[in-house]
Amino acid sequence: MMRNGDKSWIPGHVDIFGNDVADQLAKEGGMMEQIQHNPSYNEAKTLINSALDCHWRQEHPQHNSKDAIHKLSRAEQVTIFRLRTRHNRLKHHLFSRFKIGDGPNCPCGANRQDAQHVLQDCPLLDDARLKYWPEPREMNQKLYGSALQLGITAEFIHASDLTI
């Protein structure tokens, strides 16, 4: 519900004796020499962790703490992460990046064995794909969907005996 209204400044501390005194004492306290103390171990640890956390968040603004990947087991997370980033052990990445293997081709004959091909197109994996996804799913759902969808993707990869 939206309401229209006027904004006006209302002085909160003006001409109220107790508040005027508090303001004056606060100003005087701010002008006094501040006592320096060394923080305790726990205080220092909290300050350092807070600074590191702040720095990390600034360096990684795209991080989504609600990403369903955080609900998976460590092994499933690794599988999904490798598929998402395309830094994996599928033939296309190994050959194009490191010249490892006899080429980027999939055993089915396609010219690229990559995440897109394995999860969506490879005819050698049609039966397994149908078992795990009776209804067609977009690549985005398989790699960025709910925890259940990500778990199914990781299980499909494991059952397909692919090294990711």
In sequence order, what DSSP letters do the residues of 116-160 get, joined into one string? HIIIII-GGGHHHHHHH-SS---HHHHHHS-HHHHHHHHHHHHHT
Residue appearing with tokens 């969907």: 145
Quote the percentage of the chain above a pLDDT of 90: 71
Q: Is residue 164 part of a domain?
A: no
Question: Does some domain include residue 137?
Answer: yes
Domains held by the chain: number? 1
37 lies in some domain: no
Assess if residue 150 is contained within a domain.
yes
Provide the whole-model pTM: 0.67
Whole domain around residue 106: which residue ranges?
88-159
pLDDT of residue 60: 87
Separation of alpha carbons 121 and 133, rounded Å: 13
Report if residue 70 sits inside a domain: no
Asked if residue 153 lies in contact with residue 142, where contact means CB atoms within 8 angstroms, the answer is yes
Q: What angle do CA 11, 13, 18 make, to 5 degrees?
A: 155
- Flag whether 140 is in a domain: yes
Residue 57 lies in a domain: no
Task: Give tens-digit pLDDT for 13-70.
Answer: 566 777 878 888 888 888 888 888 888 999 999 999 999 999 999 988 888 889 999 9
- Per the CB < 8 A criterion, the answer to whether 54 and 130 are in contact is no
DSSP assignment letter at 13: S
Question: Is the pLDDT reported for residue 1 higher than 60?
Answer: no
Inside any domain, residue 32: no
